[in-house]
Structure 1
Amino acid sequence: MFETINTMLTDALGADAWIYVAGAAGLVLVLMMLPLILTRKKEPMDRIARERKGIILEDDSDNRLSRHGTRNEHLAKYAQYLDPQDEEEMSKTRTMLIRAGYPHKDAVRTLTAAQMLLGLGLLVLGAIYSLVLAADMSMVNKMAYTMIPGVVGYYAPKYWVNKRVAKRQGEIQDGFPDALDLLLVCVEAGQSLDQSIIRMATEIEPSYPALAGEFLMVAQEMKAGKDKPDVLRAMADRCDINDITSFVTVLIQSASFGTSIADALRVYAGEMRDKRVMRAEEKANVLPTKLTVGTMMFCVPPLLIILIGPSLFGIAEALSGTKAF
């Protein structure tokens, strides 16, 4: 096979064919790396350096953490077809998108449009394939090749949103103990709870943007005059994480009974640190079991071939009457 490819390249490009292939491969790699270089993630220390110099860029404004996207006028024309008519379904879908990090008003409409476009597009492609390219198939196979891509295209956006919800919840859960420690430091320094939340959210935003956005939303709603328990319960409902729900309960009960918020945060922050250590230990204990499967699949067969292969070859030659080497 290698000789065939070498002959084809030599005939097409000459004696230096492999040099041209290597250059083309390098050019492709450079082009693939350009988007990563141009969209380099901002380092947290860069933001701190800009703040010390008093430099404010557009990316550092409040728009970066805005919870509302711009309205899509093109989708608004078809709102009656894209918006779910059932209020319960509408509320469930909106809650799912909010938990995924898409709280703007057109999120449900955009999801429905994506489902329809992907479903119809893949359905048409499946129909073209089954009717034109594979016309000799049976009717059952034609129906399968037509319907299955359409179903996959229809449910793929919702599946992606569910995966996004799980990923975002994991990011919030990972950053929550650090956020509690910073919130405790701010409260013990003499700041109010509202000011502490704003400062904490601003500091953790480069590392945990999802969690910072939730706390900034809480701070903005408190500034707008909403009841603090209602705002905290809304955050717990948006995150749908047991740690956040327990944290909200602790703050509400602390405010109701008049106890010190700093003492409550100190105890709860210690519990969250212990839970994070326990989750890390759990993952570490599960790791050997997961590695066993890979070891059995990829290491044991080559080892058996190396150890038993020569013996089997010798036995086969002996049985055939030839001399074993």
Structure 2
Amino acid sequence: MQEIFSAILGDQLGPFGPLILMGTLGAVLILFTLPVLLKKKQDPLDRLRDQIKTSKDVANGKAPARLRYDNQKGARLEKYSAFLEPQDEEEYSAAQLKMIQAGYRSKNAVRMFHFAQFAMGLGALALGLIYALLKSAQQDMSPKSLVLTVLLPGVIGYMAPKYWVTRRIEARKEEIVNGFPDSLDLMLVCVEAGQSLDQAIIRVAVEIRAGFPALADEYEIVSHEIKAGKDKSVVLKDMAERCGVPDVASFVTVLIQSQQFGTSIADALRIYAAEMRDKRVMRAEEAANKLPTKMTLATMMLTVPPLLIILIGPSVYDIYTLLNETNF
């Protein structure tokens, strides 16, 4: 077998040429056979049951509404949903909530996220394999360096979408935290001017759109869900879950309790808005108090070595000169 590979490839790939070639062929076979393996044929009995159920729903007036358009990307990945989506309901709900907190609210967000992980992982793995082939043709590589050269780009490509989503979640939470006190002040002004809470939420969403678009989107979703007839307490709890910010969750609790006990919403907003302003000032003071501690290490590294050189350098030079003279 070694002679056959040597006759085909020559000595360009080095002693690991057969192993690299077999790995490449295996990856190509996996890419071509994976869609065939994942494609499932629907059982005729299941198809018949679905048709009977659909006909009964149509007869009873319970047929699901048809969408006016289909998501073409989601439709293309529909046949791979068993591979690209978590099958556990709790795991899928957690993944969907994470994508919503990152700002991706489409129906196929989870599917596209896993597809991005799979595609970028395989693409980076292929690039690493090509780089390993080119490098092994120029010089000999140890097995450890060969494995790292091939696998490390694949791991980085697979983890890149997850890192991007995590950064998006953190940036969105920070934006909501920064804009939430100002939105409460605007809401308090609207409520005290005679508007209802629903009208105040719509107005606040319009006013803060330029500075805090993520928070404006959440307020718009709340207003649309309330208009659709959804219970207000459920809508507010869903908003707190989507934001993932403790301040928003506390605000939702205050509004729900104010609605249940019949207290004034304006008074609740006034007190909570004052607390949010104080909390924002405390966060600014905390960040300011952390600066001296963070600057201490940099100050020591940039100040102490030059100071030591200036103070001790001449003495060290004199000692060095004296020792050289005594040796001669």
TM range (shorter): 0.7 to 0.9
Q: How far apart in 1 are the matches of 2:249 and 2:103?
A: 18
Please give the TM-score of this superposition, normalised by the length of structure 2: 0.73
- C-alpha displacement at 1:189, in angstroms? 0.7
Q: How far apart in 2 are the matches of 1:99 and 1:259?
A: 31
Name which of 141, 148, 152 aligns with 1:137.
141
Q: How far apart in 1 are the matches of 2:167 and 2:225?
A: 28
- C-alpha displacement at 1:71, in angstroms? 6.4
Q: How far apart in 1 are the matches of 2:96 and 2:302?
A: 45
Any idea what SS the aligned residue of 1:321 has? helix
Gaps of 5+ in 2: 1-68
Partner of 1:31: none
Q: How far apart in 2 are the matches of 1:306 and 1:80?
A: 72
Q: Which amino acid aligns with 1:90?
A: Y
Any idea what SS the aligned residue of 1:156 has? helix
Matched, 1:253 2:257: yes
Q: Which amino acid aligns with 2:79?
A: Q
Q: How far apart in 2 are the matches of 1:203 and 1:170?
A: 19
Name which of 290, 314, 319 aligns with 1:315.
319
Partner of 1:73: 72
Partner of 2:294: 290
Q: How far apart in 2 are the matches of 1:222 and 1:249?
A: 17
Q: Which amino acid aligns with 2:72?
A: E
Segment drifting more, 278-287 vs 83-92: 83-92
Q: Is the contact made by 1:71 and 1:105 (CA closer than 8 Å) also made in structure 2?
A: no
Alpha-carbon spacing, 1:132–1:262, altered in 2? closer, same or farther (3 Å): same
- C-alpha displacement at 1:75, in angstroms? 4.7
Partner of 1:110: 112
Partner of 1:190: 194
Q: Which amino acid aligns with 2:76?
A: K
Identity over aligned residues, as a percent? 60
Q: Which amino acid aligns with 1:83?
A: E
- C-alpha displacement at 1:276, in angstroms? 0.9
Q: Which amino acid aligns with 1:73?
A: Q
Q: How does 1:206-225 map to 2 (within 5 A)?
A: 206-225=210-229
Q: How does 1:36-55 map to 2 (within 5 A)?
A: none
Q: Is the contact made by 1:131 and 1:142 (CA closer than 8 Å) also made in structure 2?
A: no
Name which of 82, 85, 89 aligns with 1:83.
85
Q: Is the contact made by 1:180 and 1:265 (CA closer than 8 Å) also made in structure 2?
A: yes
Any idea what SS the aligned residue of 2:325 has? coil
Name which of 95, 98, 102 aligns with 1:96.
98
Please give the per-residue CA displacement for 1:4-55, whole angstroms capped at 9, x wherever unaligned: xxxxxxxxxxxxxxxxxxxxxxxxxxxxxxxxxxxxxxxxxxxxxxxxxxxx
CA RMSD of aligned residues (A): 1.9
Q: Is the contact made by 1:71 and 1:106 (CA closer than 8 Å) also made in structure 2?
A: no
Q: How far apart in 2 are the matches of 1:150 and 1:299?
A: 43
Q: How far apart in 2 are the matches of 1:192 and 1:77?
A: 45
Gaps of 5+ in 1: 1-69
Alpha-carbon spacing, 1:311–1:86, altered in 2? closer, same or farther (3 Å): same
Q: Is the contact made by 1:123 and 1:147 (CA closer than 8 Å) also made in structure 2?
A: yes
